[in-house]
Amino acid sequence: MSSHREAPGISKDPVADNTDLYAFVSPDKPDTVTLIANYIPLEGPAGGPNFYEFGDDVLYEIHIDNNGDALPDITYQFRFTTQVRNPNTFLYNTGQIKSLDSPQWNRPQFYSVTKIASGQSTPIASGLPCPPCNVGPRSIPNYTPLEHSAVRPLPTGETVFAGQRAEEFYVDLGAIFDLAVLRPFENLHLIPTAATEGVNATNHLNVHSIAIQVPISQLIQSSSNPVIGVWATASRQTATMISPGGVLIGAGPFVQVSRLGNPLFNEVIVPMSEKDLWNSLPPSADSQFLDDVQHPELATLLPFLYPGVFPNLAAYTKTRADLAAILLTGIPSGIIPGFQNFTGTTPADLLRLNTAIPPTPTSKLSIFGILGGDLAGFPNGRRVIDDTAAIELRAVAGVTIPLVDPTFTPDAAASLLTSFRTDPPPIGSGPGHSFPYLGTPYDGFDNPSS
């Protein structure tokens, strides 16, 4: 997850923890945009009897800015309600779950959707079912019909889904947080080791996703202004009381406790002392983090950790205008031929998507997004297949500096930095490549970590 447990406060509140955000023009419905907000990091599939679920006491939101002021012009709100059908059992299910209304499923979740636009709040759906967690083949002999039946078209034109999915974000957590050691890169440049490939720390883990597919015409102001900025949040009420019996009761207005725009922003860019503050603020307040983007700590660590490997990066003392453009304002026209996702000069951590750029044909897809010549990929929004850890590593190491400073020559090693994934996701059609795009969640019985 690109922002799992990224701040001290939210690390103690997983059901409100934004882990990943995706925004892309839908490859199977190119007149729509798909927005996916993931929550609850590092779900072990065998986590029963209390399997993972959204928080009934959390307000989940996906926000869209379509005029460049870093304020929400459209917001989709999601609220969840959990039922207990049989209070006299400890089991999640008392028999096989063969449908979303199965009486053997003891703890189903339902949700409502509200749209806020032009200052008007409008409920657009209620009582929508989530699929169950993928317990195992004995409890759920055929999971596919359940996940398909949980995809719901709305009369207002959107399509929605909320429930457990497979975690698709590849990242070698054990290496990155061990003083930014990069296993194969270290083997080539510093210390001979036996490791020759990356280790996907999120492999065979699940996540909870809220996905919504929206007609582009409902998101943009006009075809002459096709760029939108997207971020996701989670909020809790200001007070929580514990009643007799351990029931939690919320009171007061909702206060934001987590947000996510670009992957890894709070996790890698924002210093520890400000991470909880960042999670509480709107993107319109991000000018106070501009210096953290312009002088990223990781860019100073790489030459230190790999002596002699990044001499040009070590010598570069100018403000990192390239990272400020990529992460905080969008890339203006004229820098990359045929591309721009500029939203204005207001610094804000938004996932910016140019909705006028169509999905890339399968034969030309690159998991390195724009750095791989694929203009429909990150940082033009973010697709599930984009290897964002590798893209951001290369950018921090200097690959993108020539976009704004042609006098700089990136170190040869910078373009070699990668997540070293050995299992890139399939990029054709098939399961996991239609809405809601993230794959079927791993089940607890067959999972190798069980």
pLDDT digits over 223-246, tens only? Answer: 899 999 999 999 999 888 888 877
* Cα–Cα nearest to 58, from 122, 5, 111: 111
pLDDT computed for residue 70 by the predictor: 96
Share of the chain above pLDDT 90, in %: 67
220: tokens are 């943009």
If phi over 0 gives left and psi between -120 and 50 gives alpha, with beta otherwise, what is residue 338? left
- Is 438 part of a structural domain of the chain? no
Let me know: does 245 contact 82? Beta carbons within 8 Å.
Answer: no
The pLDDT assigned to 193 comes to: 46
Q: What is the pLDDT, as a whole number, of residue 204?
A: 79
Split at pLDDT 50, 70, 90, the class of 2 is low
Two tokens, residue 412: 């040869």
Give the DSSP H/E element, type plus range, for residue 189: helix 183-189
Q: Across residues 269-276, what is the average pLDDT?
A: 91
Label residue 446 by pLDDT band (50, 70, 90).
confident
**Assigned domain for 298 exists:** yes
Using CA atoms, how far apart are residues 36 and 444, in angstroms rounded to an integer? 24
Residue 439 is assigned to a structural domain of this protein: no
Range of the domain at 228: 10-416
424 in any annotated domain: no
Residue 436 maps to a domain: no
Q: How many domains does the chain have?
A: 1
- Which of 71-85, 116-130, 294-308 has the least mean pLDDT? 294-308
Q: Whole-angstrom Cα distance, residue 443 to residue 201?
A: 17
Give me the mean pLDDT over the 423-437 stretch. 61
**Between 144 and 433, residue with greater pLDDT:** 144
Distance, CA of 181 to CA of 423 (rounded, Å): 20
pLDDT in tens, 88-134: 999 999 999 999 999 999 999 999 999 999 889 999 999 999 999 99
The answer to the question of residue 182 being in a domain is: yes
With 70 as the cut, is the pLDDT of residue 174 above it?
Answer: no
pLDDT at 45: 85
Residue 445, domain member (yes or no): no
Which comes out higher in pLDDT, residue 371 or 241? 371
Per-range mean pLDDT, top range of 11-20, 168-177, 185-194, 402-411: 402-411
Other CB atoms closer than 10 Å to residue 127's CB: what's the count?
8
The pLDDT confidence band at residue 421, using thresholds 50, 70 and 90, is: low
Q: Which of 77, 52, 58 is nearest to 250 (CA)?
A: 58
- Asked if residue 183 has pLDDT above 80, the reply is no
CA distance 352 to 378: 9
The per-residue pLDDT for 195 is 43
Q: Is 446 among the domain residues? A: no
The rounded mean pLDDT for the chain is 88
Is the pLDDT confidence value at 366 over 60? yes
